[in-house]
Chain A
Amino acid sequence: DIQMTQSPSSLSASVGDRVTITCRASQDITTDLGWYQQKPGKAPQRLIYAASTLQSGVPSRFSGSGSGTEFTLTISSLQPADFASYYCLQHNNYPWTFGQGTTVEFK
């Protein structure tokens, strides 16, 4: 199975901060990776697909980069609506696997 190591597990930040979350795959997954945001009590929703393509309707402050084994989700200027949990999901190889998640908290 492909392991997705996501870091950090949590972070504290302020509105306006630049935030970076990383996922590392245990083997090459090309760009078969999505980033998801989940707010408490809600279903996840995808922000980024194919590692770097913004899902329709997602604010441009979100961006994704990487390929192979190293991937990054960046929020360029954190907004109040962005305090949530974030997960990566690889779908290159079965079983698909999520990262452990990153909770972005208010500093």
Chain B
Amino acid sequence: QVQLVQSGAEVKKPGASVKLSCKTSGYRFISYYIMWVRQAPGQGLEWMGRVNPSDGGTIYAQQFQGRLTMTSDTSTSTVYMELSGLSPEDTAVFYCASFSSHFWDLWGLGTMVTVSS
């Protein structure tokens, strides 16, 4: 089955880190970039960055530089996103999506991360 399965909801304290997973199945893992998108409650979509599963290459949005790490594991067809230095403003749903500029578009269901003391 072609799908992206994201890890479960997380609750973190300010200053902590969170590592989310996005397990792919049903298609060739290395064929498409995986991007991560953040959506704060009631807000719009924010592009965080992308990882190229074929070589692990990453591009991050400037606002996350220094505290965002995306990795890929070809042995398990899984991508990870780690965000450090969490603040309450990071409370959001995080989506992974398998991206191609043409025809291919596949999203996970999202992972809710709550940052609260």
Contacts and interface: CB of A to CB of B under 8 A. Distances in A.
Contact of A98 (B44, B103, B110): B44
Contacts of B101: 32, 49-50, 91
A38 B97 CA distance: 14
Contacts of B97: 43-44
B109 interface: yes
Tell me whether chain B's interface is mostly helix, strand or loop, or mixed: strand
Nearest to B105: A46
A43 B45 contact: no
Given A50-B101, A56-B103, A91-B101, A96 B50 contact: yes
Nearest to A31: B101
A1 B65 CA distance: 14
Contacts of A91: 99, 101
Residue of B46, B95, B107 with highest tally of chain A CB at under 10 A: B107
A83 interface: no
Given A49-B103, A56-B103, A101 B61 contact: no
Given A43-B107, A44-B95, A45-B107, A98 B102 contact: no
B59 A95 contact: yes
B105 A49 contact: yes
A107 to B, nearest CB: 22
A22 to B, nearest CB: 16
A97 B47 contact: yes
Contacts of A89: 45, 47
Contacts of A49: 101-103, 105
A43 B46 CA distance: 13
Given A50-B101, A50-B102, A95-B62, A36 B45 contact: yes
Interface of A: 1, 32, 34, 36, 38, 43-46, 49-50, 53, 55-56, 85, 87, 89, 91, 94-101
Interface of B: 35, 37, 44-47, 49-50, 59-62, 95, 97, 99, 101-103, 105, 107-110
